[in-house]
Every structure is written in structure tokens, then in C-alpha cells.
């Protein structure tokens, strides 16, 4: 468990200015406006600001075509981006100004000099940089305590990763406020030390250069190196294709910078890369992907060894944790697995051998901890739970954003251990759960269930679920006030985790769903029991049996959310809850807003009298099957697994006449019956394979 202290009474960032209207600047502005921030997009000439606005318009037009946004939403986004000509004209009371100009120290310094005069004393300044020293940039400002480095990844409106780099003089409040802003953008945030390359570029840029060295050594062609790299790292694009996408000059500049800053000549741009950039050309990648076994071995071991060696350096220099190295690779680069996960898959001893070989080529020494770990033969252990304590409030972050924080055996076990510690800690009055990235928790790890069913290992499924019940009980019966910060997507087991808490705080990004009956099972972590006790049997049937998506307003109306606030108000809301303490009535057995349209509909449609008709696939009397809402409900029910639907309904009914403990035990008792059905395997497999299931009622 990692425990971090952060400042109290933190004021949220609400107004943004972006200096530079190029691809990065306009992308940051667009993403900020999408998340309802008012944004000033600033450049030195009107033509550049106009170009930035045009870039945003083009991206948003594409989003409309792909049905990501409606035309009305796009107009709202555009209106939130105000054009400003001249850095000196930034609004004085702006909360955060992000500089996103050329990667040139002198140019950036000049921008900050102007901003120091133009901005009020409370304005935070940030530099979007992929390479320059944040400490040096901070010293170029008159407010080093209110300065941080940011590294947004291209394209900022799409890529979910951002590295936050404090300077040595950045105040804790500054870092916390900027981190909160990034999270409000839905970003996965890595807070890291100011070292050349930060996290991702530290291992990724030399990886690109190493591919160029392999090429000029005549080991293989560009196509062959790309093909071997894709197989070795389980990625979609090799190094040469990636350089063509982002531009070879960027790769050359970045690798030369690292070579200089880290005094590592191995990183100096390969002659093949220098010649290509000098000619203004792109890599010629043919179709000759097949190479000899020896060549493939050399390519994979060199590229893997380089990544392993540099990743170990990153951890040794305490730039960030090994978990964050892996998150950077998976979220920022879209790798299937991070460097340390790949080491585990091929074996630590083999990984160390490859890293040692590369370290000899690069003329640097591997960290001692790597050699010690290799001698043990055991893989790396990963921590997916972080704890941040602010006063009496301990925020528990499920930090597995690349998998949308899905619950697996490791996460459940670590969460249980953390809750034990916090429940017994007298300095803690409130426990708040949150998920890293855009999701709270997107359910349980479905592949686990599929693997266990196919291996005929039901006891493992039972043990995992029973352990989940034990962990949720640590929230249900915690002596502390428990809060779920469901400010993103919460599905299945994630929603069940939230319902075990005393309070659930949501924002406009909140979205709930119980998908279980449509994938051949039923909610097995209390979803059939706590939902009824929170919002009543009729609303619970609507949520659980039909698996309806529940938006933030509906979730609040039904009582699934206890607080619905603006994203900037989440922290203050938790502090207020902490003062209030545990609720007088956690389970009201009725919607919070009985007059809400969904509440009134569920009361009429999913009442006891209609259930036999609905379960038989028919429309109850008095309802028009051609009505859009009625038709949607009947269609959703028809797509569920019949056995799962029947068992879920029985469990919901049981919740009206049993204690919570008795009802939870009934969920556990039914697990073997549901997971032994052919439909459970079909539904879960179809979800993984991205197809519609075909149920046989068996």
C-alpha cells in the first residue's frame, strides 16, 4: 500500500489558457472544452489562432461522422474555446496557463516571462514538454512554486495518458490541483520525477533508435524489424511505421537529446536516421517481413533488452514506480503489456540476460535490484491500489486504468488488505474509493471466468466471488464513513463495489449498468440484494434484469447516487460527507425521486403483477408494444440468457423478505448452478469475442 499526503482545502482549476494553437495546443484546448472548461487558445498572430480553431473544427467534424458527438455538442465545445491574439492578453484571473509552443528553451522562457506579468499571482503556469528540464523551466519563471511540467501524448484529445512533472520547487497544492485538472479530462495521470525523457520517452525513444541501428548493421530490413518487434511486444505497429506516423525528425531530435542529457552515446541518432531526416524522406517499408530465425532472435532480444534495461533504470532513479512504467506503455503507447509484465511472461532470468547484454552495448550498469530479482526466479509483484490521505479522508485509488480497473484476484486481495489497514487506523475517519482514468471499475475480469469454466475449475470462481463478498463486507460494515467516487463508468462488479459504500458521489460522467443477464450470469457481488434495498424492487428489476444503461441523472433519481455534483466539487463533497458521517438510513428501499419518469415507469411496468408476463417474453396488458420505451425493454429482456434472467429475478424477490446477509448467501449458493450452464460460457465468451451470444437455455 502506497500512502501519500496531499493538501487540504484545494481549490479546483476552472479556467484554462493554452499558449500555442498548433496540433498539441489546439488538441489540449479541444479536450478541455469537451470537458466543459472555458478555454482561451492563444497565439502570437490571428492567422495561427484561426488555424487552431480550424484544426479543432476538423477533428470535431470527424467525431460527428463517427457519432461520438452530436452537432449540438460540437457547437457547445467550439463556443467554449475563445481566440486570443498575444500572450500578454491572457485573462489575469486564469487558473491554469499551459504553454504548448516549440520545444525550445529560450522561446518557452520568453513566453513565461510575459505570462508572469500578464497573470495574477494565483495563476499556475505549466509547460507541455516531452524533453526539456522542468526544473530549469521553473527557474525561468517568477513563480517556481506555481509551476509544473506536463507531457500530453499525441493526440491530446484522444490519447488518455499525461505525465505530470513537478519541479523541485512546485508546491504540493500546485501539483494536486493540476493533477485534478488532468483527471477531470479523463486522463490517466503519471506523476514522475524530472529526468530526461520522463517515463515513456525514456525507454521508447531509444527503442526507436535501436531499430535504426539494427537496420544499418544489416541485421534485417525495415519491414522485417517491424514484424519481429510487433510479435515480440504484441503491438500493432513497429518502430519504423511509428516513426513514419509521428515524423522521423521528432525521433532524431528526441534521441539526440537523451544521448546528450544522459551521457549515453548509444542513444545518439543512428546514421540511417540522420540520413533519412537529412533527405527529408520517410522510411520505405516493404512487404518482406520474413527473416531468418537468427535475425529474428537478434532483433527481439536487442529491442526487448533495451526496454528492460532502461525501465529498470527508471525505477532505480525513482522517476516513477514499475506499475507506472507499465501504465505508460499500455495507455500512452497502446502496448498490450508493459515492460515489467513482459519480463514476467518470458521469465525474469531471461529478461535480465537480455537487459545485461544491452547494457554492455550501451556501456551502463544495470541497477542491483534487477540482478537480485533475477536470482530469485520469481516475477515482479504489482501493486494496483494507492492510498492518498488528506486529513481524516483516505482516498483508495484502484489503479489499473489500462483494464478500466477491472477486478481480478490480485486487485480484490490488495483492496481487502488496504481496507483492513484503514479500518483499524484511528487517524482515518472516511474511506473514499476511486478509479484511475475514465472508469470507476468496469466490472470483474471476464477472461478469468471463461478460463475457469473451460478448465472445469468452478471452485476457483466460487473462491474469487466469496473473497469479493468478504472485501465488500469490509466496506458494508466499516466503522469508517465509506464513499464511492463513481465519477466515471461503473459496470457489474464495479457498481456492486460502489453500492456497498455508505455514499456514492457522481458527476455528469457517471454511467452505471448491470450487464450480467445479457452475458449469461447474474450479479454475484450483492447486486441483486443491495439494489433492491436502495431503490426498491421495481427499479431494481429495471436495472438488473433488463441491464439498462443508467445515466447520472437517473442514477441520482433512483438513489444509486447519493450525491450528484460538478466534477470540480467532488473533493469538497467528500470533505462535507466526512463531517456528516455515516448515513441514518443507508437502504431506503425506494427511489430518491419517486416522481422521476424512470421511477414512475418502473413502478408501473416492473411491478409484481407484470413479472410472469415479462419473464415469458410478452408485453403486459395496458402497455403498447409499439411504444419506443416499451419496445426497448422487451428487446433487452429478450436478449438475456433465460436461466440467468430467472435466477436473477428470484434473487431480487428474495431481497424483499430476507436480511442482507441471507440474501448475499443466496447469491453465493446459486453460483455453481449459473456457471455450470452452457449459456454462461456462451455469454462470457461472446463478450470477449465482441459478438452477440446465441443462448440455448441450457
The predicted pLDDT at position 9 comes to 55
Report if residue 311 sits inside a domain: yes
Catalytic residue ranges: 130, 151, 163, 201
Phi and psi for 388 in degrees, rounded to 5?
A: -120, 120
The predicted pLDDT at position 332 comes to 95
The predicted pLDDT at position 131 comes to 84
**What is the rounded CA–CA span in Å between residue 41 and residue 98?**
10
For residue 597, the number of C-alpha atoms closer than 13 Å in the C-beta half-sphere is 3
From residue 496, give the alpha-carbon distance in Å to each of 400, 500, 673.
18, 7, 21
Examine the domain organization and report whether 601 and 491 are in the same domain.
yes
The CA R_g of the chain, rounded to the nearest whole Å, is 27
Average pLDDT across each block of 10 residues of the chain; the chain has 698 residues. List them in order: 50 94 96 96 97 96 94 96 97 97 94 97 96 94 97 94 97 94 93 97 98 97 97 96 94 95 96 96 94 97 98 98 97 96 97 98 96 95 94 95 94 98 98 94 94 96 98 98 96 98 96 98 98 98 98 98 94 95 96 97 97 96 93 96 98 98 98 97 96 96
Judge contact between 51 and 35, C-beta under 8 A.
no
Write the CATH number for 182: 3.40.50.720
Q: In what order do the strands lie in the sheet with 439-442?
A: 439-442, 489-491, 511-513, 550-551
- Supply the range of the domain harboring residue 86: 2-191
Report if residue 330 sits inside a domain: yes
From residue 464, give the alpha-carbon distance in Å to each of 52, 390, 461, 530, 666.
51, 32, 5, 19, 16
**Cell reading at 178:** 493540476
The region, left, alpha or beta by phi > 0 then psi within -120 to 50, assigned to residue 363 is left
Judge contact between 551 and 511, C-beta under 8 A.
yes
Examine the domain organization and report whether 50 and 182 are in the same domain.
yes
**What is the rounded CA–CA span in Å between residue 201 and residue 151?**
10
User: What would the pLDDT profile of 533-542 be if each residue is shown by its tens digit?
Assistant: 999 999 999 9
Write the CATH number for 256: 1.10.1040.50
Examine the domain organization and report whether 358 and 436 are in the same domain.
no
Examine the domain organization and report whether 536 and 407 are in the same domain.
yes
Examine the domain organization and report whether 668 and 639 are in the same domain.
yes
**What is the rounded CA–CA span in Å between residue 490 and residue 435?**
9
Report if residue 697 sits inside a domain: no
Nearest one of 383, 467, 474 to 423, comparing CA atoms: 474
Number of domains, the chain: 3
The predicted pLDDT at position 1 comes to 46
Nearest one of 386, 384, 399, 389 to 440, comparing CA atoms: 399
Examine the domain organization and report whether 89 and 226 are in the same domain.
no
Report if residue 543 sits inside a domain: yes
Examine the domain organization and report whether 550 and 665 are in the same domain.
yes
From residue 647, give the alpha-carbon distance in Å to each of 516, 517, 528, 696.
11, 9, 10, 16
Where does a domain end: 376, 403, 433? Answer: 376
Report if residue 269 sits inside a domain: yes
Examine the domain organization and report whether 103 and 53 are in the same domain.
yes
Q: Which residue has the cell 470462481?
A: 461
Report if residue 336 sits inside a domain: yes
Nearest one of 677, 680, 656, 660 to 526, comparing CA atoms: 660
Examine the domain organization and report whether 359 and 488 are in the same domain.
no
Report if residue 551 sits inside a domain: yes
Judge contact between 126 and 48, C-beta under 8 A.
no
From residue 23, give the alpha-carbon distance in Å to each of 142, 257, 540.
28, 22, 47
Phi and psi for 5 in degrees, rounded to 5?
A: -100, 135
User: Which one-letter DSSP state was computed for residue 197?
Assistant: T
Judge contact between 25 and 41, C-beta under 8 A.
yes
Judge contact between 439 and 490, C-beta under 8 A.
yes
How many CB atoms lie under 10 A from the CB of residue 94? 23
Where does a domain end: 146, 161, 191? Answer: 191
**Cell reading at 94:** 486564469
Distance of CA 189 to the CA centre of its chain: 9
**What is the rounded CA–CA span in Å between residue 517 and residue 539?**
16
Where does a domain end: 376, 406, 437? Answer: 376
**What is the rounded CA–CA span in Å between residue 169 and residue 146?**
8
Report if residue 180 sits inside a domain: yes
Examine the domain organization and report whether 492 and 396 are in the same domain.
yes
Examine the domain organization and report whether 455 and 604 are in the same domain.
yes
pTM over 0.85: yes
Angle between helix 348-362 and 293-316 (nearest 10): 90
Examine the domain organization and report whether 336 and 218 are in the same domain.
yes
Judge contact between 499 and 527, C-beta under 8 A.
yes
Judge contact between 82 and 32, C-beta under 8 A.
no
**What is the rounded CA–CA span in Å between residue 164 and residue 286?**
39
Write the CATH number for 406: 3.90.226.10
**Cell reading at 131:** 524533453
Amino acid at each position: 500500500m502506497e500512502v501519500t499526503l496531499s493538501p487540504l482545502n484545494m481549490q479546483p482549476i476552472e479556467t484554462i489558457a493554452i499558449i500555442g494553437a498548433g496540433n498539441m495546443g489546439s488538441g489540449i484546448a479541444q479536450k478541455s472544452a469537451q470537458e466543459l472548461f472555458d478555454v482561451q487558445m492563444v497565439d502570437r498572430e490571428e492567422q495561427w489562432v484561426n488555424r487552431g480553431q480550424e484544426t479543432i473544427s476538423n477533428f470535431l467534424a470527424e467525431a460527428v461522422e463517427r457519432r461520438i458527438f452530436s452537432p449540438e455538442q460540437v457547437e457547445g465545445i467550439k463556443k467554449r474555446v475563445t481566440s486570443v491574439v498575444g500572450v500578454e492578453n491572457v485573462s489575469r484571473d486564469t487558473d491554469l496557463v499551459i504553454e504548448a509552443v516549440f520545444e525550445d528553451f529560450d522561446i518557452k522562457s520568453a513566453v513565461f516571462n510575459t505570462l508572469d506579468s500578464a497573470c495574477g499571482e494565483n495563476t499556475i503556469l505549466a509547460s507541455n514538454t516531452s524533453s526539456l528540464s522542468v526544473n530549469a523551466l521553473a527557474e525561468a519563471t517568477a513563480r517556481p512554486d506555481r509551476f509544473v511540467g506536463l507531457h500530453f501524448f499525441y493526440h491530446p484529445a484522444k490519447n488518455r495518458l499525461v505525465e505530470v512533472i513537478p519541479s523541485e520547487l512546485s508546491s504540493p497544492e500546485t501539483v494536486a490541483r493540476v493533477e485534478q485538472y488532468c483527471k477531470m479530462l479523463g486522463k490517466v495521470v503519471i506523476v514522475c520525477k524530472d529526468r530526461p525523457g520522463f517515463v515513456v520517452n525514456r525507454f521508447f525513444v531509444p527503442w526507436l533508435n535501436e531499430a535504426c541501428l539494427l537496420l544499418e548493421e544489416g541485421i534485417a530490413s525495415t519491414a522485417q524489424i517491424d514484424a519481429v518487434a510487433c510479435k515480440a511486444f504484441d503491438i500493432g505497429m513497429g518502430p519504423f511505421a511509428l516513426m513514419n506516423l509521428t515524423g522521423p525528425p521528432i525521433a532524431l531530435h528526441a534521441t539526440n537529446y537523451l544521448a546528450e542529457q544522459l551521457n549515453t552515446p548509444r542513444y545518439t541518432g543512428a546514421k540511417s536516421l540522420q540520413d533519412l531526416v537529412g533527405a527529408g524522406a520517410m522510411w520505405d517499408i516493404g512487404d518482406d517481413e520474413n527473416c531468418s530465425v537468427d535475425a529474428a532472435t537478434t532483433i527481439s532480444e536487442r529491442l526487448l533488452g533495451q526496454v528492460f534495461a532502461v525501465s529498470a533504470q527508471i525505477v532505480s532513479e525513482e522517476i516513477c514506480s514499475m506499475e507506472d512504467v507499465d501504465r505508460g506503455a499500455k495507455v500512452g503507447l497502446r502496448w498490450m503489456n508493459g515492460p515489467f509484465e513482459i519480463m514476467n511472461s518470458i521469465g525474469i532470468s531471461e529478461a535480465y540476460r537480455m537487459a545485461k547484454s544491452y547494457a554492455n552495448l550501451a556501456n551502463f550498469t544495470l541497477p542491483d535490484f534487477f540482478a537480485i530479482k533475477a536470482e530469485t526466479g520469481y516475477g515482479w509483484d504489482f501493486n494496483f491500489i494507492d492510498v492518498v490521505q488528506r486529513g481524516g479522508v483516505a482516498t483508495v485509488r484502484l489503479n489499473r486504468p489500462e483494464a478500466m480497473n477491472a477486478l481480478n484476484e490480485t486487485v480484490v486481495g490488495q483492496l481487502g488488505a488496504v481496507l483492513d489497514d484503514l479500518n483499524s487506523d484511528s487517524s482515518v475517519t472516511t474511506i473514499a474509493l476511486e478509479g484511475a482514468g475514465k472508469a470507476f471499475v468496469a466490472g470483474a475480469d471476464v477472461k478469468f471466468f471463461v478460463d475457469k469454466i473451460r478448465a472445469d475449475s468452478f471452485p476457483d470462481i466460487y473462491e474469487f466471488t466469496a473473497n469479493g463478498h468478504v472485501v465488500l463486507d469490509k466496506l458494508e460494515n466499516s466503522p469508517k464513513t465509506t464513499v464511492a467516487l463513481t465519477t466515471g463508468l461503473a459496470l457489474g462488479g464495479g457498481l456492486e463495489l460502489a453500492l456497498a459504500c455508505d455514499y456514492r458521489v457522481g458527476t455528469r460522467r457517471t454511467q452505471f449498468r448491470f450487464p450480467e443477464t445479457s452475458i449469461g450470469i447474474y450479479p454475484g457481488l450483492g447486486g441483486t440484494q443491495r439494489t433492491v434495498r436502495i431503490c426498491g424492487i421495481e427499479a431494481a428489476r429495471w436495472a438488473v434484469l433488463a441491464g439498462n444503461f443508467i445515466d447520472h441523472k437517473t442514477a441520482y433519481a433512483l438513489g444509486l447516487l447519493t450525491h450528484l455534483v460538478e466534477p470540480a466539487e467532488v473533493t469538497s463533497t467528500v470533505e462535507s460527507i466526512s463531517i456528516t458521517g455515516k448515513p441514518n438510513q443507508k437502504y431506503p428501499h425506494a427511489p430518491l425521486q419517486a416522481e422521476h419518469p424512470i421511477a414512475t415507469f418502473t413502478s408501473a411496468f416492473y411491478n409484481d403483477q407484470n413479472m410472469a408476463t415479462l419473464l415469458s417474453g410478452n408485453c403486459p396488458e395496458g402497455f403498447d408494444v409499439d411504444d419506443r420505451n416499451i419496445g426497448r425493454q422487451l428487446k433487452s429482456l429478450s436478449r438475456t440468457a433465460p436461466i440467468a434472467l430467472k435466477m436473477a429475478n428470484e434473487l431480487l424477490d428474495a431481497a424483499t423478505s430476507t436480511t442482507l446477509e441471507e440474501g448475499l448467501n443466496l447469491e453465493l449458493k446459486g453460483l455453481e448452478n449459473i456457471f455450470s450452464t452452457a449459456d454462461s460460457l456462451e455469454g462470457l465468451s461472446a463478450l470477449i469475442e465482441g459478438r452477440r451470444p446465441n443462448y440455448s437455455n441450457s
